[in-house]
Amino acid sequence: MASSGVCTVAVVDLTGKTVVITGGARGLGAAAARAVVDGGGSVLITDVLEAEGASTAEELGGAARFLRHDVTSEADWQAALDHAVAEFGRIDGLVNNAGIATGQLLEHESVEHFRRVVEINLVGTFIGIKTAIPLLRANGGGSVVNISSAAGLMGLALTAGYGASKWGVRGLSKIGAVELAEAGIRVNSVHPGMTLTPMTAPIGIQPGEGRFPGAPLGRVGSPEETAAAVAFLLSDAAAYMTGAELAVDGGWTAGPPIPNPAGR
């Protein structure tokens, strides 16, 4: 039977872990924050969307905090991680989720916008990893989960800045995995496909079976389905995974669906 798209994955055990999640005010980030708290962990949500971020943290209760955070600022990164340690005593995980999208053909994309997308999506992720390394190293290790995209696994039209930055996040994750393994720091990337979030809603995607025929599973994903993968990578259950690319895309990057499957 086809899935309804409702995530029913069992809660992942994150008891005692503190995780910092950027772009956590809404969408994938908020779903990941909820998964951490549901798993017994604590979370610092950061975002530039102050009202939404504060509301999400309040909803999650005493195990969650919110801090305004510009991921392109080294000073903001240091302040965010220092705040997490002050509030919870340690950092065990980092989810680099903050990002913006672009929707222009390459020939129409402005240099200024391209630079802005890369600065937030890729440079922000780099600064975050770099700033977190000493804290994770001091704890004897930890998990970094970088949110890339299906657009970081294939050439996707209309995503000049976004796609390039997400390929960069994918590569940066590999480099981090190799360099930081000796410190017990695992670095993996997650590649969501078409997922219904506030960032994708403006392009008109709809949930439900048959609404996304370009993917073998035939539907768009939910934030909770990506959050389940993120929680797994944060957990000790993924202790032997680093440098991995986890596609949560309904098979979109695997290949096109076969025509007329009922007629086989």
- Mind telling me the catalytic residues? 162
Judge contact between 141 and 92, C-beta under 8 A. no
- C-alpha 79/C-alpha 87 separation (Å) is 12
- Residue (of 177, 18, 16) closest to 93 by Cα position: 18
The separation between CA 155 and the C-alpha centre of its own chain, rounded to angstroms, equals 20
- C-alpha 214/C-alpha 220 separation (Å) is 10
Written as six digits, the tokens of 179 are 């360099």
Judge contact between 122 and 172, C-beta under 8 A. yes
Q: In which order are the strands placed within the sheet that holds 142-147?
A: 64-68, 42-47, 18-22, 93-96, 142-147, 185-192, 245-248
